[in-house]
Amino acid sequence: MGLFDKFTGEFIDIIEWLDPTQDTMVHRFERHNNEIKNNAKLTVRETQVAVFVDQGRIADVFGPGMYTLNTENLPVLSTLRGWKYGFESPFKAEVYFINTKNFTDCKWGTKNPVIIRDPEFGPMRLRAFGTYAIKVKDAAKFIDEIVGTAGHFTVDDVTEQLRNIIVARFSDTIAESKIPVLDLAASYDDLSKFVHTKISPEFEAYGLDLTKFLIENVSLPPEVEAALDKRSSMGIIGDLSKYMQYQTAEAMEKAAENPSGGANEGIGLGVGLGMVNQMMQQMKDNKGAQENTQNVTPPKLPETLQYFVAQNGKQTGPFTEAELKSLVEQGALTRQTLVWKAGMSNWAPAETVSELNSLLQSVPPPLPPL
């Protein structure tokens, strides 16, 4: 510093900062030996806060206005320095001007894809980006937590850390919301408000106020977007047979507009129409086969074998085939046991019912008379 600058710094009596930039958040007022004279004038403009730092400790904070610096409006600094009746000689202190305006159009975005589980498509990789706006809410905390001893601090110096916070909380929000990928575009506003609410306390811990947060776009990998485009195209085409008929009619109309095309073109058109007709017929056959398959009524299921059995002079049942087999094994159903089912005119011995022959094969016939 030259001799002229030294004398200028010693006799300066106005402390102010005019911001020539659009992105400066903190500016340290520089002068020779950081000396401030008694009754110096401090000018703090709108959207500014002036912070006095004494030997690394934050002392007094001034909002917008013009001040004459003395022990009355420097109470903290006066206490730290032990001034009781005012000061006469210049004192040393660092003065930081904090820009409290809204810093808009700050960008955020995901460096790496965020993996989520979509209810329709399964695991998906998403990228997202947007904008946000911040302002300094607590100047002293902002200097303590972020700025430190930097003499000049811009928005770019803090956005990297803020971006990491935003991306981490955005990933959590997308995973918790369980919104289908195809419905995300309709939910940007709700997601933006939810993320805003979630990350605001973390910004406040740095002395910052998150005044706005916007999600501008959530995108899928190119190959997934291409697959979705094909799926959408098929949905728009609808009935493929009608679409091919339309394409054929268009080709015939173009051929009619060029009658001098020659025999080769006529042959080519004929071959093309033949192929189209074959494809159309094949599609009709397939469609008819599907309709025939849908119209075929399957045969009735076989009726379950159910019989009533006379036991000890009482009617029991009805019994299924498995239950009848169990009765045979227990000896409760023999060849002479009377049975009946719906459709029979009367009770009859089991051995006379053909349906029960297979069950009675293990039952020996009655012993011959002695």
Residue 191 sits in a domain of what CATH number? 3.30.479.30
Q: Which residues contact 242 (CB under 8 A, 6 or more apart)?
A: none
Does residue 87 lie within any of the structural domains? Answer: yes
Buried b (16+ CB within 10 A) or exposed e, 322-357: ebbbebbeeeebbbebbbbbeeeeeeeebbebeebe
pLDDT of res. 5: 46
Residue 21 belongs to domain spanning = 3-99
95 and 136 part of one domain: no
Does residue 148 lie within any of the structural domains? Answer: yes
Tell whether the model's pLDDT for residue 133 goes beyond 70.
Answer: yes
Does residue 263 lie within any of the structural domains? Answer: no
69 and 114 part of one domain: no
The secondary structure element, H or E, covering residue 317 is strand 314-319
Under 8 Å between Cβ of 168 and 176:
no
Structure tokens at 358: 């297979």
pLDDT of res. 97: 93
Does residue 265 lie within any of the structural domains? Answer: no
149 and 77 part of one domain: no
CA distance linking residue 224 with residue 361, whole number of Å: 67
315 and 340 part of one domain: yes
Does residue 26 lie within any of the structural domains? Answer: yes
Confidence class for position 68, pLDDT limits 50, 70, 90: confident
Instruction: From 222, 252, 267, give the residue that closes a domain.
Output: 222
pLDDT of res. 210: 95
Instruction: From 49, 82, 99, give the residue that closes a domain.
Output: 99
Q: pLDDT tens digits, residue range 199-244?
A: 999 999 999 999 999 999 988 878 877 777 676 666 666 566 666 6
Number of domains in the chain: 3
pLDDT of res. 7: 41
Look over the chain and give the mean of its residue pLDDT values, rounded to a whole number.
78
